[in-house]
Amino acid sequence: MLLNQQLKIIDLKKDKNKMEHIVKILKIDFVTHDTKSFIVEKPKNYKFVSGQATTMAINKPGLEKEKRPVTFSSTNENLVLELIIKKYPGGITEKIHELSPGDELIITDPFGVMHYKGEGIFFAGGAGITPFLSIFRSLKNQNKINKNMLIFSNKTAEDIINEKELANMLGKNLILILTKEKKQGYESKRIDEQFIKDKIKAFNKQFYICGPREFVSSIKEILQKLGAKKESILIEG
């Protein structure tokens, strides 16, 4: 997921302490109609915590300094990196979606506050699912998925990233919401206070939120209003 959906160019001075790595794209696949999975080389001794991100640029003349934050959807145990990137009109993501296997990216050392702090409830909006994919995949590998719940909001069913995989990992603890489509098997509404009260009976839990800025701030505000402690809400967005 591109963490900053306004696609602001990162101040290179702030990023100067992060080591850069040039990695080759090995494989590209569509995961939805406007979102692609990029499998890229993993630098030697490169380590990250599930939920973390890197800054990325295209290794082509004129594009090397246009860095964007993007989260890993692979796990640290994988021998390659997976970056799932949604295309937004009029931005650098259009150029990223034009790339082919063999092209190169520039990535930095990993960073970010999102990580697993214990069993809880995850709220994802659209491409905000990507850090949670890494977390759930890591938990599955350790047989520690347990009772973690995911509430995943998208506009339509065709926008849902890795739906089958998430259903396989989470089973009945996966709640899929469509805000612009009514379809059997999916909730058809926005996540508001009443919805959260209906789905969550106790708020002394760990909460994770990732997605568009308005999505994150709205859910955080509702959770705190309903009794969740500020320190128990981990956000990225």
Q: Are residues 101 and 126 in the same domain?
A: no
pTM: 0.91
The residue from 64, 81, 108 where one domain ends is 108
Task: Please indicate whether residue 6 or residue 106 has the higher confidence score (pLDDT).
Answer: 106
Q: Are residues 79 and 165 in the same domain?
A: no
pLDDT at 90: 82
Q: Are residues 92 and 47 in the same domain?
A: yes
Q: How far apart are CA 54 and CA 111, in angstroms?
A: 6
Q: Are residues 80 and 174 in the same domain?
A: no
15 part of a folded domain: no
Lowest mean pLDDT among 26-35, 85-94, 111-120: 85-94
Among positive and negative, which fits the CA dihedral 5, 25, 115, 198? positive
pLDDT at 12: 37
Q: What are 156-195's pLDDT values in tens digits?
A: 999 999 999 999 999 999 999 999 999 999 999 899 999 9
For residue 82, how far is the Cα from the chain centroid?
Answer: 11
Q: Are residues 133 and 104 in the same domain?
A: no
Q: Are residues 148 and 229 in the same domain?
A: yes
9 part of a folded domain: no
5 part of a folded domain: no
CATH number of domain containing 156: 3.40.50.80
**Residue 202 belongs to domain spanning:** 120-236
Q: Are residues 195 and 145 in the same domain?
A: yes
For the chain, the straight-line distance linking the first and the last C-alpha, in angstroms and rounded, comes to 10
State the pLDDT confidence band at 91, using cuts at 50, 70 and 90.
confident
Q: Are residues 132 and 47 in the same domain?
A: no
CA distances for 176 relative to 124, 154, 181, 233, angstroms: 10, 8, 12, 21
Q: Are residues 48 and 138 in the same domain?
A: no
pLDDT at 1: 55
Q: How far apart are CA 84 and CA 2, in angstroms?
A: 9
pLDDT at 237: 56
pLDDT at 17: 57
Q: What are 203-222's pLDDT values in tens digits?
A: 999 999 999 999 999 999 99
Interval 99-111 mean pLDDT: 98
pLDDT at 123: 98
Q: Are residues 94 and 151 in the same domain?
A: no
Q: Are residues 185 and 129 in the same domain?
A: yes
Split into its structural domains, the chain has a count of 2
DSSP-derived letter for residue 232 is G
**Measuring CA to CA, which residue among 57, 48, 47 is closest to residue 22?**
57
36 strand-pairing partners: 30, 85
Residue 132 clears pLDDT 80, i.e. is over it = yes
The residue from 86, 108, 130 where one domain ends is 108
11 part of a folded domain: no
pLDDT exceeding 90 applies to what percent of the chain?
A: 88
Are the C-beta atoms of residues 115 and 50 closer than 8 Å to each other?
Answer: yes
Q: What are 3-52's pLDDT values in tens digits?
A: 444 333 333 334 445 699 999 999 999 999 999 999 999 999 999 999 99
The residue from 54, 74, 108 where one domain ends is 108
